């Protein structure tokens, strides 16, 4: 991939002006993190056809508030304060939960206003997150999230590992995006090492990534049908997803494809019999999903629940920095796969699937369209898979070498910023999940809707708790 990354060390006086120029140029904040020794805050922005990595060295453990330019920075700055002690912004509340200290939720007052606390422990098998609703009757006036219940010290754990060991940890940052995170880490390490994986390995990575995308979209469409009162949808989509996962296990040795994308390429390959099995599966999936789409689109009850529900307009989505599927459903045409020179997608020529209404129905439409596009990409990959090796051995990067990985996961843009230490160790690794940008958008999308619609709206985004709590 011809990924252009510009890295600059800047002064505090330039922190806000430079980011203002990024925003005025149509850029967006990709990730914000910090490192110790020396104390540094890092910002990675996407600006048209390049990535801009800005580093700010701190002298007094404080830095200018980036959320005045990019609102998505607010929660990242709170996490930096908890993890490193570097201070910025007006919100002094902790992000990570280390004890039982009282938390100052924003209070909404007025006649008939009351609060409904939901979580952090939920009835389903999901990670913990607290949602505080302020409502009049059933109408939502405000939603405030509190996350940070599942902090695992992943970023610090990277710093005790070798670069090779870090690849396995990267694939476990968020279990439903293991291919995306593993590929982003591998891309970052390959960049630091000055190496390029073989074409066959890159095409196989794309195959695995599209299978991960389909599996998650299939599962979500089932759950969205169920939350909209159509349990039939859950049963059918769960069955189709299960068949896909079983073929993953049969051909690649793991249902979720962990450790199949590795630095230098892939740890698996596919023979003609395996390719034929996937192509036959693609025909079945396409036929069944077409039939299920017709049911979803024609079902009056489901349409009544989904159309105009949880709407997020394009202007607000852009201001909040929303990415991925949620952005495309709100009419924002961004997808890292169509980025110029992104190997191998530059050869595969993926179509960008988008809608404009920004409601639950639009996010359902985008999921359907992306499944069909992933099936097309699967066929393209398997009928024109380059010959040769699927993996090369990487040279050891020199100390202080760095690299960035950027992959369009099924949920949105996944970043990994990596810095090499001495003797093949990890000096610093920051994996960034798109849920950082998209969680605040959920607080806006639910406004004006009724409380019983929240599970449907929440599932239409389907954000990661773990990915925003490393």
Asked if residue 391 belongs to a domain, the reply is: yes
Q: 279 and 376 share a domain?
A: yes
pTM comes to 0.96
Domain boundary residue, one of 84, 110, 142: 84
Domain count, the chain: 2
Where residue 346 sits, what CATH number does that domain have?
1.10.645.10
The domain of 13 spans: 5-84
Q: 222 and 348 share a domain?
A: yes
Nearest of 187, 234, 252, 242 to residue 214 by alpha carbon:
242
Q: Could you read off the pLDDT of 137-193 as tens digits, one per residue?
A: 999 999 999 998 888 899 999 999 999 999 999 999 998 999 999 999 999 999 999
Q: Which two tokens stand for residue 129?
A: 């997150």
Which burial class, exposed, middle or buried, applies to 457 when counting CB atoms under 10 A from its CB (0-12, 13-18, 19+)? buried
Is the pLDDT at 1 greater than 70, yes or no?
Answer: no
| Angle separating helix axes 435-445 and 454-461, nearest 10 degrees | 160
Dist. CA 36–CA 197, nearest whole Å: 32
Taking the CA of residue 401 as centre, how many other CA atoms within 13 Å lie in the half-sphere pointing to its CB?
Answer: 18
Q: 199 and 317 share a domain?
A: yes
Q: 337 and 238 share a domain?
A: yes
Q: 54 and 188 share a domain?
A: no
- List strand residue ranges (DSSP E) for 376-420, in order: 402-408, 413-420
Q: 275 and 365 share a domain?
A: yes
DSSP label at residue 343 = T
More confident residue, 175 or 310: 310
Asked if residue 130 belongs to a domain, the reply is: no
Q: 58 and 177 share a domain?
A: no
Average pLDDT over residues 443-452: 96
pLDDT band at 133 (very low <50, low <70, confident <90, very high): very high
Q: Does an H or E element contain 390, and which?
A: none
Looking at every residue in the chain, the average pLDDT score rounds to 95
Domain boundary residue, one of 84, 102, 127: 84
Asked if residue 14 belongs to a domain, the reply is: yes
pLDDT band at 2 (very low <50, low <70, confident <90, very high): low
Of 91-105, 128-142, 346-360, the one with minimum mean pLDDT is 91-105
Q: 168 and 58 share a domain?
A: no
Asked if residue 215 belongs to a domain, the reply is: yes
What lies within 8 Å, CB to CB, of 109 at 6+ separation is none
Q: 169 and 78 share a domain?
A: no
Q: 193 and 47 share a domain?
A: no
Pair 415, 294: CB distance under 8 Å: no
Where residue 70 sits, what CATH number does that domain have?
3.30.460.80
**Dihedral pair phi/psi, residue 343, rounded to 5°:** -80, 135
Q: 211 and 328 share a domain?
A: yes
Mapped onto helix, strand or coil, the DSSP state of residue 181 is: helix
Domain boundary residue, one of 84, 107, 125: 84
Asked if residue 415 belongs to a domain, the reply is: yes
Asked if residue 143 belongs to a domain, the reply is: no
Q: 203 and 292 share a domain?
A: yes
Q: Could you read off the pLDDT of 224-272 as tens digits, one per residue?
A: 999 999 999 999 999 999 999 999 999 999 999 999 999 999 999 999 9
Asked if residue 157 belongs to a domain, the reply is: no
CA distances from 15 to 53, 68, 321 (A): 12, 12, 18
Give 445-449's long-range contacts (Cβ < 8 A, gap of 24+): 445/310, 445/311, 445/312, 445/358, 446/140, 446/143, 446/310, 447/140, 447/141, 447/142, 447/143, 448/139, 448/140, 449/139, 449/140, 449/309, 449/310
Asked if residue 185 belongs to a domain, the reply is: yes
């Amino acid at each position: 991939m011809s990924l252009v990354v510009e890295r600059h060390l800047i002064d505090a006086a330039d922190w806000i002006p430079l980011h203002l120029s990024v925003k005025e140029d149509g850029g967006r904040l990709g990730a914000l993190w910090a490192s110790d020794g020396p104390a540094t805050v890092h910002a990675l922005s996407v600006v048209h056809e390049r990535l801009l990595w800005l580093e700010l060295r701190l002298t007094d453990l404080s830095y200018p508030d980036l959320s005045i330019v990019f609102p998505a920075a607010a929660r990242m700055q709170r996490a930096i304060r908890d993890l490193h002690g570097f201070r910025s912004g007006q919100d002094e509340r902790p992000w990570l939960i280390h004890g039982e200290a009282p938390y100052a939720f924003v209070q909404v007052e007025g006649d008939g206003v009351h609060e409904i606390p939901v979580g952090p422990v939920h009835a389903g098998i999901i990670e913990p997150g607290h949602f505080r609703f302020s409502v009049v009757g059933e109408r939502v006036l405000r939603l405030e999230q509190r996350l940070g219940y599942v902090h695992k010290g992943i970023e610090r754990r990277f710093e005790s590992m070798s670069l090779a060991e870090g690849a396995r940890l990267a694939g476990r940052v968020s279990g439903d995006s293991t291919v995306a995170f593993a590929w982003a880490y591998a891309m970052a390490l390959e960049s630091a090492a000055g190496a390029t994986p073989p074409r066959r390995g890159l095409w196989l990575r794309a195959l695995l990534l599209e299978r991960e995308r389909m599996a998650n979209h299939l599962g979500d469409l089932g759950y969205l049908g169920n939350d909209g009162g159509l349990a039939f949808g859950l049963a059918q989509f769960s069955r189709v997803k299960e068949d896909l996962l079983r073929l993953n296990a049969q051909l690649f040795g793991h249902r979720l494809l962990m450790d199949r994308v590795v630095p230098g390429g892939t740890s698996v390959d596919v023979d003609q019999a395996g390719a034929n099995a996937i192509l036959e599966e693609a025909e079945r999936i396409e036929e069944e999903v077409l039939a299920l789409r017709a049911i979803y689109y024609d079902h009056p009850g489901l349409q009544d629940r989904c159309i105009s529900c949880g709407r997020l307009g394009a202007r607000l989505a852009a201001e909040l920095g929303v990415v991925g599927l949620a952005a495309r459903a709100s009419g924002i045409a961004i997808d890292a796969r169509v980025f110029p020179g992104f190997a191998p997608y530059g050869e595969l020529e993926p179509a960008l699937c988008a809608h404009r209404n920004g409601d639950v129905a639009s996010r359902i439409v985008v999921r359907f369209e992306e499944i069909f596009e992933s099936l097309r990409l699967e066929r393209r990959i398997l009928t024109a898979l380059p010959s040769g090796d699927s993996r090369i051995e990487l040279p050891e990067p020199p100390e202080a070498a760095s690299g960035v990985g950027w992959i369009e996961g099924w949920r949105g843009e996944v970043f990994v910023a990596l810095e090499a230490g001495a003797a093949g160790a990890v000096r610093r690794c920051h994996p960034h999940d798109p849920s950082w940008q998209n969680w605040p958008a959920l607080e806006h999308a639910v406004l004006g809707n009724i409380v019983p619609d929240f599970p449907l709206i929440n599932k239409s985004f389907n954000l990661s708790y773990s990915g925003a709590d490393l």
